[in-house]
Amino acid sequence: MAEGEEAAAPKSLQDFDSQKKSKLNKYACGCAILASMTSVLLGYDIGVMSGAAMYIQRDLKVSDVQIEILNGIINLYSPIGSYIAGRTSDWIGRRYTIVLSGVIFFTGAILMGFSPNYAFLMFGRFFAGVGIGFAFMIAPVYTSEVSPTSSRGFLTSLPEVFLNGGILVGYISNYAFSKLALHLGWRVMLGIGAIPSIFLAVAVLAMPESPRWLVANGRLGEAKKVLNKISDSKEEAQLRLADIKDTAGIPQDCNDDVVLVTKNVQGKGVWKELLLYPTPAVRHIFIASLGIHFFAQATGIDAVVLYSPRIFEKAGITSDTKKLLATVAVGFVKTFSILVATFLLDRVGRRVLLLSSVGGLVVSLLTLAVSLTIIDHSRTTLNWAIGLSIAAVLSFVGTFSIGSGPITWVYSSEIFPLRLRAQGVAIGAGVNRITSGVISMTFLSLSNAITIGGAFFLFAGIAVAAWIFHYTMLPETRGKTLEEIEGSFGNFERKPKASATAKEVNGKNNGNGQIELRNNG
């Protein structure tokens, strides 16, 4: 009888999820979709610039280096937005930070659309970059905090889904407006991005505030109402609230609607704990977040996405229309692949999917490097090599989008403890954008220096290093609550099965090849 009662009463969210698999919570899904749609802004900008850059160069008579700067500078501006968003989201909440990101990007899109010259265009890129930095940081944080544990991987991957959707829309926009007059076409391509930003800023007001932010600010009554809506059951809502209260330092027997939170969870001392005096677990988490963000971009995804028309031109396609159509195909493959990934994250797990994805990147990059090198050294047209190059580009974006792309944001947003989450994710987003900016601002020059084939051989080598890093440093997080995940980090030792709780992680050992840093003290 005692055993039956024990089995019937789940003591953690993990136990609850293993006993009952509920249907996807529609309210939580709706909130995640609205928040994730902010990623459309970055996606559209990346996609539209790949084609618009050709016409900007012809209209404004600018050099390749200026085009590199124009493409990549937005990624150096966006960390400014991510940093500000990390502080702002703790101050005014996750929801209003998303609204602010839409307003800032709207300003940038309008300025770019009416740019009379290169300098004014760069001014507009600053506002767009800051707005994108806001969205890039806050969307995965909010989504992870409203998602039930059973579907957190699926819902937290939605920002990457909409980012890829935005890229596809940007590619289609290039093709649709490419027939306009030279001075008008690229301005319409850039300016039309203001439309979704206003829609998102208004739509987000229908979302509730993050329950973790509400608890961190002592607003327990509101947090309970939100948790009852976004959880799969009342039992799960109570368990989630208990976990959050424990993290926030609020006694479990405190049930007031409004309480005074004395324990700091809102940013004071966070930077010191994160950077100067981290525990072994926090240090491991921080290194894992920086590494996964760095390698996601250092393997060259934005070089392919931003300069795909140039790559196809090097492969032997000369017509603007055909280059833009091939680029649209890249967008479709990326979008389809990310949709597949959303359904695999909570079934296969982050680790297996990530390692498989990066392995695919290595093969795709080596194939692309070899085929482009052959074309570069051939005096005749080699149709098979052209076809192989196009297939390798499609394979590269597909394998990236099915693992490395979405998992980077899912993983980094769920591994940080509540007290460090906003700032930790902001730093990760900053590393992501800076690395992307460096790649975007050097790819054409790098290709000219070591050939385009040599550039992709370099990316392939980086992908090999990425696989080794992911294998040795990233433990599985599938099936764990956000509060339990911290227990998976801290010391180098073999990791227990993915479904183990934090307590099991501290006391067991199995041989799945995972190395993790943890503190046994």
pLDDT at 187 over 90: yes
CA nearest 312: which of 377, 371, 378? 371
Residue for token pair 């359904």: 343
pLDDT score of 507: 40
| pLDDT at residue 388 is higher than 80 | yes
Please name the residue ranges forming H helices in 260-401: 270-271, 280-298, 301-306, 308-314, 320-348, 350-377, 383-399
pLDDT band for position 502 (cuts 50, 70, 90): very low
pLDDT value of residue 491: 60
In this prediction the pTM is: 0.72
Q: Taking Cα atoms as reference points, which of 419, 442, 102, 139 lies closest to residue 281?
A: 419
Lowest mean pLDDT: which of 255-259, 329-333, 515-519? 515-519
- pLDDT at residue 467 greater than cutoff 80: yes
d(CA 104, CA 250): 36
Query: Quick check: 295 pLDDT over 50?
Result: yes
Distance CA 42, CA 78 (A): 10
Per-residue pLDDT at 390 = 92
Is pLDDT at 173 greater than 70 in this prediction? yes
| Best mean pLDDT range from 43-47, 73-77, 336-340, 387-391 | 387-391
Confidence grade of residue 512 (pLDDT, cut at 50, 70, 90): very low
Contact between residue 232 and residue 150 where contact means Cβ atoms under 8 Å apart: yes
Tens of pLDDT along 399-430? Answer: 999 889 888 888 887 888 877 877 888 788 88
Q: What is the pLDDT of residue 366?
A: 96
